[in-house]
Chains A and B, each alone.
Chain A
Amino acid sequence: MIEVLATGAMSTVQDPGRHGYRRFGVGVAGPLDPLAAHIGNAMLGNDPKCACIEIVLFPFRVRFTEDCRIALTGADARAAIDGTPVWPWWSLTVHAGQVLSLQAPRDGGVAYLSMGGGVDVPEVLGSRSTDLKAGFGGLQGRPLRKGDSLACLEDACLGTRQRPRGFGVRPPSAAEAGAAIRVLPAAEWDQFTDEAHTLLVTHDWKVSPNSNRIGVRLEGPALAMRRKVELLSHGIVPGVIQVPPSGLPIVMQCDAQTSGGYPKIATVIEADQWRIAQTPLGGRLRFEVITLEQAQAAWDGQRRYVEAIRQAAILAQ
């Protein structure tokens, strides 16, 4: 069991998301940075469907009422256990009574606390993810608050022989910092002007403070269309870059509606969606257009990377 001692307004329980219910209007939810959440489970040997805690606003502090294996992934939130610093992307066993504290990451971003066995909240429509808009899933469909208690499901690995100081993995960001975010052209690509195509891939887009779990709004030059387009409502996925009449693009995130009607210039590839989420408010990002084959190769590469961590974690235990 953990007790929440302090939290910002947007800490939520998230598993890989609520899939299969879009046709009822139910969005996916899930972690903003699915890669960090996935690696947290891999480091613990958890089932990939285990739920973790996503922390967006800091400080965040929890007390463990029993021994617990944890993994800290995502942004470097200057974690400490009873005041002793812990490396980012680190997994270790904490003991009953210890307090984990996270501070606002210097470079912004979203942090993840994964625990052996995963957070035990009831499944709603096949998922433990918090859907804040619909008000279900996670802990009573709401963000965590000071005073909340969360239990974990049984952790089969707890108590097995483990490295006393834990182990870490190399963060994915180190290899890809500053690289352009890769996108695929979407349905209305051809209906944007040549200038819009050039701007999309040459401008350093600024992440608006009005961004949230529904969409990341980008500030920069307006992307113009050759002519006005009226679209019928259609299904959309996280990563779709919609361009409303203002011309300023919005990258849809995991709490996006299931359907949309704005023109779509491109879609951020699955392998790079975590990098959008980890770009802080006010930060800059660039785009690069690639092919479907390249997108699939990037996805395969990312999954091999997570699988390698899963295998290495078994050996490290």
Chain B
Amino acid sequence: MRTDRLPRVSPLGCSALLFEAQEDFGDAAQQRVWHVAEMAKTWPGVCETVPGMNNLMVVFDPDATSAQMLVREVHTAWQSEPRPTTGAKLVELPVIYGGAGGPDLAALADHAGLDVDAVVRLHSEALYTVYFLGAHPGFAYLAGLDPQLHAPRRSEPRLQVAAGTVAIGGMQAGVIAQTTPSGWQLIGRTEQSFFDPAAEPPSLLAAGDSVRFRPIGIER
């Protein structure tokens, strides 16, 4: 058995386990996380599997399985070759950059040493991958942001950021899916809705999907 790629395991109470990949994060490692998450959620006693950034949380019923057994099963699954992701879709999001919906666009351009047009071009030419959903319902952490656009979170989070706000946090991109506090840099706005509790699935985006931003306007 190969052991060099086995994830680090730690308990979160007695009904959840966190598995952290020991390889550098990136598309290959994340595909392994999705693959194990898909496999594990069908196992007896597993309540849900929650992919994170290069890690996986497995929530289970300790009456129906045990932490020891799950660790063995996850380790085995972790070493199988990830299947190509099935059912992944490409979602295109029309965005108005800048203006009231993107108040940090100019500051982000300054920070990057670029003009606003270049920021919009770099942001909208990239193809993003949904690594996982978290933080609030429907919010997708997107990988694929051009390194020139990496930007630190604000030291003081804004107390209210509107749903549909296109944002950058560190090396990640995203769209705020529900009006919420956020410390991310806000660069634009889309009318797309990302979460509907009455829909199945309730979220527009799922781990493994691709996202592209299409500029429909720049407000300066």
List residues of A whose CB falls within 8 A of some B CB.
19-26, 124-125, 133-137, 184, 186-187, 232-237, 239-240, 257-259, 264, 267-270, 292, 295-296, 299
- Please list the 8 inter-chain residue pairs (A to B) with the smallest Cβ-Cβ separation, ordered nearest first: A235-B57, A259-B134, A235-B50, A234-B52, A232-B53, A187-B10, A24-B203, A25-B133
Is B87 in the interface zone, CB < 8 Å from A? no
Q: Which one, A21, A25, A264, A269, contacts B135 given CB within 8 A?
A: A25
Q: Shortest distance in angstroms between B12's beta carbon and chain A's nearest beta carbon? A: 5
Q: Shortest distance in angstroms between B129's beta carbon and chain A's nearest beta carbon? A: 15
Q: Which one, A233, A264, A296, contacts B52 given CB within 8 A?
A: A233
Q: Which residues of A contact B195 (CB under 8 A)?
A: 24-25, 134
Q: Which residues of A contact B137 (CB under 8 A)?
A: 21, 24-26, 134
User: In this complex, what residue of B is CB-closest to A270?
Assistant: B13
Q: Which one, B20, B47, B198, B207, contacts A19 given CB within 8 A?
A: B47
Q: Whole-angstrom distance between the alpha carbons of A22 and B132 in the complex?
A: 10
Q: Which residues of B contact A237 (CB under 8 A)?
A: 12-13, 15-16, 57, 59
Is B51 in the interface zone, CB < 8 Å from A? yes
Q: Whole-angstrom distance between the alpha carbons of A240 and B17 in the complex?
A: 12
Query: Beyond A19-B48, A24-B137, A233-B134, is A270–B201 a contact (Cβ under 8 Å)?
Result: no
Chain B interface category by residue count: 35 or more
The 25 sampled A-B contact pairs (Cβ below 8 Å) are: A19-B59, A22-B57, A22-B134, A23-B48, A24-B195, A24-B203, A25-B177, A25-B203, A26-B197, A124-B197, A133-B178, A134-B137, A134-B178, A135-B178, A186-B10, A232-B54, A232-B55, A233-B134, A234-B20, A234-B55, A235-B12, A235-B51, A240-B13, A258-B135, A269-B13
Query: Beyond A23-B132, A268-B13, is A233–B53 a contact (Cβ under 8 Å)?
Result: yes
Is B138 in the interface zone, CB < 8 Å from A? yes
Q: Whole-angstrom distance between the alpha carbons of A267 and B138 in the complex?
A: 26
Q: Which residues of B contact A124 (CB under 8 A)?
A: 197-198
Q: Which residues of A contact B47 (CB under 8 A)?
A: 19-20
The reply to whether A25 and B11 form a contact with Cβ atoms under 8 Å apart is no
List residues of B whose CB falls within 8 A of some A CB.
8, 10-16, 18, 20, 25, 37, 47-57, 59, 62, 67, 132-139, 141, 177-178, 180, 195, 197-198, 201-203, 207
Q: Which residues of A contact B56 (CB under 8 A)?
A: 235
The reply to whether A26 and B62 form a contact with Cβ atoms under 8 Å apart is no
Q: Shortest distance in angstroms between A75's beta carbon and chain B's nearest beta carbon? A: 24
Q: Which residues of B contact A24 (CB under 8 A)?
A: 133, 137-138, 195, 201-203
Query: Beyond A25-B136, A257-B135, A292-B67, is A233–B10 a contact (Cβ under 8 Å)?
Result: no
Q: Shortest distance in angstroms between A300's beta carbon and chain B's nearest beta carbon? A: 9
